[in-house]
Amino acid sequence: MDESMTANMFTPQALVAMGQAYPNEAVRLTHTMLDHPLLGLDALEALASSLPAACVEYNPGALPIGIAPEDIPVSPLGIAETVRTIDRNGSWMVIKRIEQHPAYGRLLHALLDELKDIVQPRTGAMERCEGFVFVTSPGSVTPFHFDPEHNILLQIRGSKTMTVFPADDEELIDPTVHEAFHLGGHHRNLPWQDEFGARGQPVEIHPGEAIYVPVKAPHWVQNGPEVSISLSVTWRSEWSVAEADARAFNHVLRQIGIAPRRPAAYPARNLAKSLAYRAVRRVKGPVAPT
């Protein structure tokens, strides 16, 4: 077996830091993934070309911090050309669900296995484990958005600054946006206002560094002056799935005139609302957003 698949990929210091921060706080980590053979441009071009077209998203990089998904221009380049000319084409691309490729699947699970002793006692089993690779031109912006997964972004080449915001700040995101998102009625991109800027924590990461991003913590990313390659490893947890169900059940309550409380922060489990929403879904099917 390739030694790169068996050696520790997070440093001991990273595991200590992760243990202190997980699951509520963003934190900078360190890793040993530099020069990994699966994460060079040639290997990533081959990976992107081998996956279904829906698993590769590429966008122009000169975007504002806040932009609606329907306003994002369509890139004129194909997958292979985007990777080959990433140093000058002003784009960013993401190769999604890399675990579909056996070698990348082994890489993803080897990384996540190093975190299980931290994660599982706190938020439950790691579920829906997925990997994403971002290949980004100098200076490109990934707009303001949030994600439903626990996420660690490992910087392999180049640098970027991720500005992370508190997940529970309702002045940034109205609770109804959370609810619509979990019901399929809202894109991950979020409306931006310039006054939000002071509420964020900018974290700059370089090769050999990473950042853990909590579930639903809004963030935007500014790439540095060089080509960037980043590996994102993500997972859902029993806790995050229950939070999502609770958000969806809150939508049901609003439909009958009740103003619900938002789901409680970890370590509360939100099981009552989660189970209630699952019961509603079994009887009525998926609830449509309004």
High-pLDDT (> 70) share of the chain, %:
96
pLDDT at 240: 96
For residue range 26-73, what is the model confidence (pLDDT) as tens digits?
999 999 999 899 999 999 999 998 999 899 887 777 877 887 777 776
Q: Give 76-125 pLDDT, tens digit per residue.
A: 677 778 888 889 888 888 999 999 999 999 999 999 999 999 999 999 99
Q: How far apart are CA 187 and CA 172, in angstroms?
A: 15
Distance CA 197, CA 190 (A): 14
Q: Are 74 and 115 in contact (CB under 8 A)?
A: no
CATH 2.60.120.1090 fits 3-236, yes or no: no
Paired sense of beta strands 228-237 and 201-205, if any: unpaired
- Which pLDDT score is estimated for 139? 93
Instruction: Name the helix (H) or strand (E) containing 276.
Output: helix 271-284
What pLDDT is recorded for position 1?
39
Q: Rounded mean pLDDT of the chain?
A: 91
| Domain residue ranges in the chain | 3-236, 241-284
pLDDT higher than threshold 50 for residue 3: no
Strand positions, DSSP E, 85-191 = 91-96, 126-136, 141-145, 150-157, 160-164
What's the average model confidence in pLDDT over 133-151?
94
Q: If 0-12 CB within 10 Å is exposed, 13-18 middle and 19+ buried, where does residue 11 land?
A: middle
pTM exceeds cut of 0.85: yes
